[in-house]
């Protein structure tokens, strides 16, 4: 990498990011890891409840688990329920989303109420005006991530959804992380032209816990790099239902999503008619997705991808650094639609939390 290229920001990661971001002509995908292919480079692992912890592995000289990729472990019909939660439930108060300014104008109605009829009615191509649901870019849960300051604040918190906390507990436990606690969630909503810039998730005060990532809907290319942007990233395909666990040494690696793509057999969930009758045990935490709700979700997912990341923010017994409470409160409120920026600016600056790479 020459010094001048670096000056222009053309590091090894960005070079690959731009390669896969390109649509015309689209990048050759033959070098992208496809975990479903059974390629010999990949060691596959089933999600097992007795998985060993990194600590235990270390005691007998096994390499730590690091980055884990779990090919869709959801039972038939259950991805639908999580998608419905992401579109109908999680954007509601007290959770925070990029459209909070709009929502306050529409008192009493939520995003779903506002958009579902429209979404069901027309195909995306025939709709000129985007519904509010289609303008949703992010939702934060638990300790609300502040996009401006890139911090979490003790004062800016709402109860973490019990169902998602439990899903996270089960997955982390099954991967050998019994101490994981779901304290913050960032839900990203992508459309076919969206991307997620190159970043490291380092705002959490504890990096000893893994970061869990759940993907639904259309497929994407995920780039996993190194500790510096000078390390060229590995491209991999992520499909609906897939789960990634960034743990151990992989927790602070650079990563990005340059492309969302229609991948044959990848992102498409069965239509509402084939949502199987519930395969619930007696204590299912979330109810089946009703056929009428699924019609809305399905219309939305035709050209969208949803990603939920769940994080632990504080170490065991840890607390937020002592700052002046007023400063904290003020900072917590900034960047969340409580100030008087106009909608256009608000949308432009916060449409995607992470800035877009060209």
Tallying the residues shown for the chain, one arrives at 358
What does the block give as tokens for 140?
């934060």
| C-beta of residue 96 within 8 angstroms of C-beta of residue 157 | no
- The closest residue (CB) to ligand OGA is 307
Question: From residue 3 to residue 22, what is the string marking binding to ligand OGA with x (rule CB under 6 A)?
Answer: --------------------
Q: Which helix (H) or strand (E) holds 25?
A: none
Nearest approach in angstroms of CB 76 to ligand OGA is 23
The answer for residues whose C-beta is within 8 angstroms of residue 37's C-beta and 6 or more apart is none
* Residue 201 binding ligand OGA, by CB under 6 A: yes
Read out DSSP for 278-319? P---TT-SSPPPPHHHHHHHHHHHTTEEEEEEEE--S-TT--
Residue 261 Cα distances to 72, 189, 265, 316, angstroms: 18, 14, 11, 39
DSSP string, 224-257: E--SSTTSPPEEEEE-TT-EEEE-GGGTT--EEE
Which of residues 116 and 255 has its CB atom nearest to Mn ion in the complex?
255
Task: Tell me 186's DSSP state.
Answer: E
Member of 21, 144, 229, 255 binding ligand OGA (CB under 6 A):
255
Count interface residues toward Mn ion (CB under 5 A).
Answer: 1
Looking at 54, 134, 183, 201, which residue binds Mn ion (CB under 5 A)?
Answer: 201
In three-state secondary structure terms, 110 is coil
What is the Cα Rg of the chain in Å? 20
In the complex with ligand OGA, which residue's Cβ is closer, 213 or 346?
213
Nearer to ligand OGA, 234 or 309 (CB): 309
165: partner contacted, choices ligand OGA, Mn ion, none (Cβ within 5-8 A by kind): none
Give me the least distance between CB of 67 and ligand OGA, in Å please. Answer: 13
| Beta carbon nearer to ligand OGA, 216 or 293 | 216
Can you name the residues that pair with 307 across neighbouring β-strands? Answer: 188, 215
What the block records as the tokens of 93 is 């108060």
Select from ligand OGA, Mn ion, none the partner in contact with residue 352, using the beta carbon and a kind-dependent cut-off of 5 to 8 Å. none
Partner from ligand OGA, Mn ion, none binding residue 245, C-beta < 5-8 Å depending on class: none
Does position 222 bind ligand OGA by CB under 6 A?
A: yes
Choosing from 85, 188, 218, 247, the residue that interacts with ligand OGA (CB under 6 A) is 188
Pairwise CA distance, residues 49 & 207, whole Å? 23
| Cβ proximity to ligand OGA, 165 vs 186, nearer residue | 186
Least distance between Mn ion and beta carbon 350 (Å): 17
**Euclidean distance between CA atoms 353 and 203, whole angstroms:** 13
CB of 201 to ligand OGA, least distance (A): 5
Tokens of 148: 């401006």
Q: From the CB of 111, what's the least distance to Mn ion, in Å?
A: 24
218 contacts which partner out of ligand OGA, Mn ion, none, CB within 5 to 8 A by kind? none
- What is d(CA 114, CA 131) in angstroms, rounded to the nearest whole number? 8
CB of 347 to Mn ion, least distance (A): 22
When CB distances are held under 5 to 8 angstroms depending on the partner's kind, the choice from ligand OGA, Mn ion, none that residue 257 binds is ligand OGA
Q: How far is the CB of 104 from ligand OGA (least distance, A)?
A: 25
- Residues 230, 232, 234, 237: what is their CA dihedral angle, to the nearest 10 degrees? 90
Total of residues contacting ligand OGA (CB under 6 A)? 11
Comparing CB distances to ligand OGA, the nearer of 215 and 298 is 215
Cα–Cα distances (Å) from 143 to 183, 216, 238, in that order, read 6, 23, 27
**Interface with ligand OGA, residue 257, by CB under 6 A:** yes
Contacts to ligand OGA by CB under 6 A: 186, 188, 196, 201, 213, 215, 222, 255, 257, 307, 309
Contacts to Mn ion by CB under 5 A: 201
């Amino acid at each position: 990498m020459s010094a001048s290229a670096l000056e222009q920001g053309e590091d090894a990661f960005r070079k690959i990011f731009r390669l896969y971001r390109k649509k015309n002509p689209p990048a050759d995908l033959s070098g992208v890891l496809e975990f479903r292919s059974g390629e010999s480079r990949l060691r596959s692992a089933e999600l097992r409840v007795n998985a060993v912890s990194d600590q235990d592995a270390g005691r007998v000289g096994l390499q730590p688990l690091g980055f884990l990729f779990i090919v869709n472990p959801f039972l038939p019909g259950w991805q639908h329920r999580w998608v419905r939660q992401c579109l109908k439930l999680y954007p509601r108060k007290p959770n925070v989303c990029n459209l909070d300014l709009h929502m306050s104008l529409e008192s009493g109605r939520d995003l779903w109420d506002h958009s579902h009829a429209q979404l069901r009615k027309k195909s995306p191509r025939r709709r000129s005006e985007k519904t509010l649901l289609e303008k949703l870019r992010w939702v934060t849960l638990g300790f609300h991530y502040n996009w401006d300051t890139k911090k979490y604040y003790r004062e800016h918190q709402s109860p973490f959804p019990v169902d998602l906390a439990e899903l996270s507990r089960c997955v982390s436990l099954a991967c050998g992380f019994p101490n994981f606690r779901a304290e913050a969630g960032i839900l990203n909503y992508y459309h076919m032209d969206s991307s997620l810039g190159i970043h490291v998730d380092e705002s959490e005060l504890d990096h000893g816990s893994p970061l869990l990532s759940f993907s639904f809907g259309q497929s994407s290319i995920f780039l996993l790099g190194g500790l510096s942007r000078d390390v060229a990233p590995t491209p991999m395909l992520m499909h609906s239902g897939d789960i990634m666990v960034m743990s151990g040494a992989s927790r602070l690696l650079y990563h990005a999503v340059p492309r969302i793509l229609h991948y044959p057999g990848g992102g498409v969930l069965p239509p509402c008619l084939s949502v199987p009758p519930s395969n619930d045990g007696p204590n299912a935490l979330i109810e089946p997705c009703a056929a009428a709700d699924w019609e809305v979700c399905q219309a939305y997912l035709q050209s969208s991808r949803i990603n939920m990341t769940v994080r632990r923010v504080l170490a065991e017994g840890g607390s937020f650094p002592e700052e002046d409470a007023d400063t904290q409160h003020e900072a917590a409120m900034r960047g969340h639609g409580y100030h008087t920026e106009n909608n256009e600016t608000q949308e432009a600056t916060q449409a995607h939390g992470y800035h877009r790479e060209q």
